[in-house]
Amino acid sequence: MTTWWWVRHGPTHRKDMIGWTDAPADLTDTDRLSALKTFLPSGAPVVSSDLIRAVDTASGFQGTRHRLPHTPNLREIHFGDWEARHFADIDQTDGALIRQFWETPGAVRAPNGESWDDLCSRVNGFVDRMAHHKHVIAVAHMGVILTQVQRARGVGAYDALGQKIENFSVTKLRLDGATARAELINHHP
């Protein structure tokens, strides 16, 4: 059994579609980083998405914990041609498609991007390959964390996307083979 301690990276303060766009996080809230450092298991390895907002957040609380290599497998969903664009702008050119992307998530892709199903497959594969660890602290993005909430709660993509995952929050999930369960979701230590 592996206990996953999912941490959402610090805020970017961006209001556009930021998936693979490599934007830094605001890590000036040192109290939040200190709380994470104290709350998370001291012996667990830390892994993060390879995007700077996740890498730097992990470094902000890592302390003496072992650091695993950053991985693109934990990147946010790739919004393709919608990257770094505002919803209203995309709505003007791809209105029906962007509504379908959010209202019926699954196989629908942004142009030259990923679908929800693609993201789930990528993240689930990585998580399954890490099953030899007892605990893992993973610093990632809202969509990545929601793929695992969906898995643990056994709900559809639309319901999973309705769950709030705030910056610096911890989502604790236990995964034992095909069985997963949520213990904390969007918890602020």
Burial 110-130 (b: 16+ CB within 10 A, else e): beebbbbeebbebbbebbeeb
Report the half-sphere exposure of 141 (CA within 13 A, side-chain side).
28
Nearest to 109 by CA among 27, 16, 14, 19: 19
Strands lying side by side in the sheet with 135-140: 46-48, 135-140, 2-8, 170-176, 179-187
Find, among 128, 127, 131, 151, the residue nearest to 140 by Cα: 127
Q: What's the pLDDT at 125?
A: 96
Range of the domain at 181: 2-187
Alpha-carbon torsion (155, 102, 74, 34), positive or negative: negative
Q: Identify whether the C-beta of residue 111 lies closer than 8 Å to the C-beta of residue 79.
A: no
Give the number of residues written for the chain.
189
CA distances from 22 to 53, 55, 68, 85, 104 (A): 7, 11, 20, 14, 27
CA 47, CA 71: separation in Å to the nearest integer? Answer: 8
**Per residue of the chain (189 residues), what is the pLDDT tens digit?**
999 999 999 999 999 999 999 999 999 999 999 999 999 999 999 999 999 999 999 999 999 999 999 999 999 999 999 999 999 999 999 999 999 999 999 999 999 999 999 999 999 999 999 999 999 999 999 999 999 999 999 999 999 999 999 999 999 999 887 788 999 999 999
Count of domains observed in the chain: 1
Q: What is the CATH number of the domain that holds 115?
A: 3.40.50.1240
